[in-house]
Structure 1
Amino acid sequence: MSSVNRLQEAITSIASRKEEMFALLQELISYPTVSPPARNSDGAQTFLTGELQEMGFEIDRFEVYPGDDNVVGRLRGMSPSNANSLIINGHMDVAEVGDDSGWTYPPFSLTRGEDRRLYGRGVADMKGGLAASLFAIKMLREHGIELQGDLIFQSVIGEEAGEAGTLAAIERGYTADYAVVVDSSDLHMQGQGGVITGWITIESPTTLHDGMRSKTIHAGGAVRGASAIEKMMKIIAALQDLERDWAVMKSYPGFPAGSNTINPAVIEGGRHAAFIADRCALWITVHFYPNESYEQIIREVEDHIQRAAAADIWLRDHSPVFRWGGRSMIEERGEIFPSLELDQSHPAFAMLQSAYEGQLQKVPVVDMSPSVTDVGWFAHAGIPAVLFGPGELEHAHAVDESIDPDQLVQFAQVMARFIAEWCNTAKNAKE
């Protein structure tokens, strides 16, 4: 039987044996890998490790945080130096549930509703993408589809809490000619903007009693002191000026005007009503466009704030201090999601589009995600990538999270086509 016929049989089997895929998803859903609190993915990652090993993957399992390991499987190609390699990436953690009394169906059991949709925490974001990708690979393996290039499957932790599971895998040395992050995109092929959080802190070297306030603000007081809280008001005003300038001067196709926001999300300051506030910290969240890097954004914000501080008599001698990003919202109260400017001229993107059109008989939607995912870490590392996965964003994180089972089948079929073609194409081959 020709390889083309074997591939078609594998694709057909995805539909005819879809209940096996749903059973795989059921097993993944049964593990309550909610984040926060996180540190609870051991059982789920052990199960997934077993699935990968059965398909012949070499396993690298390594701790990111206690109780939260990354699992990376490598299926070595027949001619890896000559053929394209591929990373399939997804996160094992799911959004927190909290009080589940509002759920119609149990969150950690896969349930088919009267509307035929599948319900359970993580079906859309994003255990559905993990299960469908695994099943696509399984069908390729069972039908004897050999791959010339390496296939790397990454099940990472921490995406929901801004934890750097994907970054940890990249830092461990995993790279490929292309990466597909199979997070929720409703089968759209997407790039994304980026997000970074930062702390701006103003601190006085001296702590003054409340009774000294008149000496710091009235004529003849002769004490150059200040309330850190009041000085932070100038910083917030400067951030608002910068945000307005960005809204006027910057734009990017696929985003509503003014999507690049600077949100003063949390403020902490002062120690007691009997003292002048000697410290104030502001936690901001900054959204930026796909053609911008978080390093660039940091420079722009810091430069603007330092200029504003230099115009203030007290702040020019007590400059704001910045702390940007972090590897965990849980551990460090900070996160980074780099942006991804989608390269639509890349041959892998063209192959993915072709696989989609060949399987679904329609042109895929190519646009920008209104959210952020781990896909930006690949772009930041110089690995071409795309966000492409099943599940509608409006159902992710929601009570009664659900997904269309037909979309899971369609996604698995498209991925099977794409994997078989991309990993059997010579490196640097012209389209």
Structure 2
Amino acid sequence: MKSRTFYPSLTKKPEEKDRKILRRIEENAGDEFAFLRDLIKVPSLPGTRAEGQAQRVVRNKLQQIAGITIDEWEPDLRAINRYRYHPIRERTDGWNYEGRPVVVGMMDGSSERSLILNAHIDVVSPEPLSAWTTSPWDAGTSGGKMFGRGANDSKGGLASIIYAVKSLVECGLRPKGRVIIESVPEEEFGGGGTIATLLKGYTASAALVAEPSGVGNLCLGSGGSRFFKIRLLGRSEAPQAYRRGVDAIEMGYRIYAALVKFNLGRGRRLRGKHPSFERKGEGVMFGDGRPTNLVVGRFSAGDFPAKVPGWATMEGRIGFPVGESGDEIRKELTDAVLEAAAGLPWLSAHPPTVEWFNAQREPYELSPSEPFIQTVRSCIHRTLGRPPTTFSTPSSCDAVFFANRVGKFGGVPVAVYGPGGGNAHGPDEFVYLSEIIQTTEAIALTLKDWCGFN
């Protein structure tokens, strides 16, 4: 990787220590890309043993950092279920953490300023595979990009936080304050891995979650989210007696149409009230200009081709900005479903049920004047030569568990910052290789300035 001029917009020369750190990161670029490639090649889908396989790749890399202590454990689902917002507690399908550990690397220090660096190892399904140009697990490179499921969300960010610490240590520096690297499973399905780290006592005075903001953007807030399942009852009949039956798919379509109307109405009502959540940009963390969105991502019905479907279910997610609570959202959506059902004779007599599962995240938003945010912002500026654009994302991530205080857990400032790319959750996902290195540099400087390294 060719060298570049550091701090292009600043007239003051950078400290020699900073130059040494940034030079080391660029020297490590090839190794960092190889590590990311190894991560992408493991199909670490939530709830599968492949999460554990990917965590072994992470653990092996952490073991190369001198002076780091590694902690690896399989979370206890019963203990996590006592956490107020644990996302899986309403599931009854045997979900557990066997073979899906959390991996933490820690370097201790005595300073009051400490920092958690957090990223997730799990990825969403790449289906349909036919939409991909190449296999989602090939980790091929082209045009300054690395492709593959998880390249952008969020294995690229995981590589950056590990190599930020690794490069500092290889420069002969040690932290004055505690540094904690967390590689967690299950972010995409609700956050059980990060919750497990909090329950085990891993805390710090600040946190940075390496989600794909893009190097020129710094995320100060995250929307809340709720996952829902709607169950509908029809009446089965043979095909020749279709009119005597009640088609649950048709009933589902009526409810779906009501949800679309409900979603559009919420968007109109909230538009302009949350400008930081409404900013548009490149990447998965930016929305379409609306601070709220609802999507139905799964619809199932019936159990035999030659039978009027007697049941249907739809599953989806609703997001909401600061100023609304999860309890309010649950009531609002449930009321919309029941109101639509009341206008249909069959559903009025057989009302649908609304259940809630998986991600139960509350929104948050930090002030740009927060000291930790100012530190991160300054380090990004020094790396890129320009200050980052600040925004809040209508999506939701594990940052909410650090920002929102629940009992003795959380309540610390958290920045969301990671390398940019495209097509996260879609075909041909990619991350910009240059942004991997720039993110690593900004995080390394943040560690030096916030925790102190000498």
TM range (shorter): 0.7 to 0.9
Q: Where does residue 103 of structure 2 map in the other structure?
A: 71
The reply on whether 1:323 has 2:355 as its aligned counterpart is yes
- Alignment check: 8 A CA contact 1:34 1:96 kept: no
Q: Where does residue 231 of structure 2 map in the other structure?
A: 201
Q: Secondary structure of 1:85's partner? A: strand
CA 280–100 in structure 1, closer or farther in 2 if over 3 Å, else same: closer
- Alignment check: 8 A CA contact 2:210 2:418 kept: yes
Q: Where does residue 366 of structure 1 map in the other structure?
A: 390
Of 315, 320, 332, which aligns to 1:300? Answer: 332
The reply on whether 1:48 has 2:58 as its aligned counterpart is yes
Deviation at 1:368, TM superposition (A): 3.7
- Alignment check: 8 A CA contact 2:326 2:362 kept: yes
Q: Secondary structure of 1:184's partner? A: coil
- Alignment check: 8 A CA contact 2:42 2:53 kept: no
Instruction: Note the alpha carbon deviations across 1:275-308, whole angstroms, 9 max, x for none.
Output: 9876543333323234434333113223444566
1:13-412 matches, cutoff 5 A: 13-29=24-40, 31-35=41-45, 38-53=48-63, 54-64=65-75, 65-79=97-111, 83-97=112-126, 99=129, 103=133, 108=137, 111-113=140-142, 115-162=143-190, 164-187=192-215, 188-190=217-219, 191-202=221-232, 235-236=255-256, 238-251=258-271, 252-253=274-275, 254-255=277-278, 256=288, 258=290, 260-269=292-301, 279-306=311-338, 319-326=351-358, 335-336=359-360, 338-369=362-393, 371-381=395-405, 382-394=411-423, 397-399=426-428, 401-412=429-440
Q: Where does residue 285 of structure 2 map in the other structure?
A: none
- Alignment check: 8 A CA contact 2:292 2:321 kept: yes
Tell me how far apart the structure 2 counterparts of residues 245 and 107 of structure 1 sit (CA, whole Å): 37
Deviation at 1:349, TM superposition (A): 0.7
Report the count of equivalent residues: 397
Tell me how far apart the structure 2 counterparts of residues 392 and 162 of structure 1 sit (CA, whole Å): 23
- Alignment check: 8 A CA contact 1:197 1:283 kept: yes
Aligned Cα root-mean-square deviation (Å): 3.9
- Alignment check: 8 A CA contact 1:145 1:420 kept: no
Deviation at 1:257, TM superposition (A): 5.3
Q: Secondary structure of 1:46's partner? A: helix
Q: Larger Cα Rg: Structure 1 or Structure 2?
A: 1
- Kindly provide the amino acid, as one letter, of the partner of residue 383 in structure 2: Q
Deviation at 1:198, TM superposition (A): 0.6
CA 293–60 in structure 1, closer or farther in 2 if over 3 Å, else same: farther
Tell me how far apart the structure 2 counterparts of residues 28 and 277 of structure 1 sit (CA, whole Å): 43
- Alignment check: 8 A CA contact 1:232 1:280 kept: yes
Q: Structure 2: any 5+ residue segments left out of the alignment?
A: 1-14, 76-96, 279-287, 406-410
Q: Which moved more, 1:355-364 or 1:163-172?
A: 163-172
Q: Which moved more, 1:337-346 or 1:174-183?
A: 337-346
Deviation at 1:423, TM superposition (A): 1.7
Deviation at 1:102, TM superposition (A): 5.4
CA 320–366 in structure 1, closer or farther in 2 if over 3 Å, else same: same
Q: Where does residue 221 of structure 1 map in the other structure?
A: none
Tell me how far apart the structure 2 counterparts of residues 100 and 237 of structure 1 sit (CA, whole Å): 29
Tell me how far apart the structure 1 counterparts of residues 54 and 166 of structure 2 sit (CA, whole Å): 18
Q: Structure 1: any 5+ residue segments left out of the alignment?
A: 217-225, 327-334, 426-431
Deviation at 1:324, TM superposition (A): 0.7
Deviation at 1:365, TM superposition (A): 1.9
- Alignment check: 8 A CA contact 1:200 1:282 kept: yes
Tell me how far apart the structure 2 counterparts of residues 184 and 358 of structure 1 sit (CA, whole Å): 20
Tell me how far apart the structure 1 counterparts of residues 132 and 243 of structure 2 sit (CA, whole Å): 54
- Kindly provide the amino acid, as one letter, of the partner of residue 359 in structure 1: T
- Kindly provide the amino acid, as one letter, of the partner of residue 154 in structure 1: E
Q: Where does residue 220 of structure 1 map in the other structure?
A: none
- Alignment check: 8 A CA contact 1:35 1:160 kept: no
Between the two proteins, what is the percent identity of the paired residues?
29
Deviation at 1:154, TM superposition (A): 0.8
- Alignment check: 8 A CA contact 1:119 1:402 kept: yes
Tell me how far apart the structure 1 counterparts of residues 303 and 197 of structure 2 sit (CA, whole Å): 41
- Alignment check: 8 A CA contact 1:38 1:93 kept: no
Instruction: Note the alpha carbon deviations across 1:3-24, whole angstroms, 9 max, x for none.
Output: x643442222212342332333
- Kindly provide the amino acid, as one letter, of the partner of residue 25 in structure 1: L
- Alignment check: 8 A CA contact 1:179 1:384 kept: yes
CA 148–312 in structure 1, closer or farther in 2 if over 3 Å, else same: same
Tell me how far apart the structure 2 counterparts of residues 94 and 184 of structure 1 sit (CA, whole Å): 13
- Kindly provide the amino acid, as one letter, of the partner of residue 250 in structure 1: L
Tell me how far apart the structure 2 counterparts of residues 67 and 145 of structure 1 sit (CA, whole Å): 35
Q: Which moved more, 1:312-321 or 1:381-390?
A: 312-321
Tell me how far apart the structure 2 counterparts of residues 313 and 100 of structure 1 sit (CA, whole Å): 42
- Kindly provide the amino acid, as one letter, of the partner of residue 44 in structure 1: A
CA 366–317 in structure 1, closer or farther in 2 if over 3 Å, else same: same
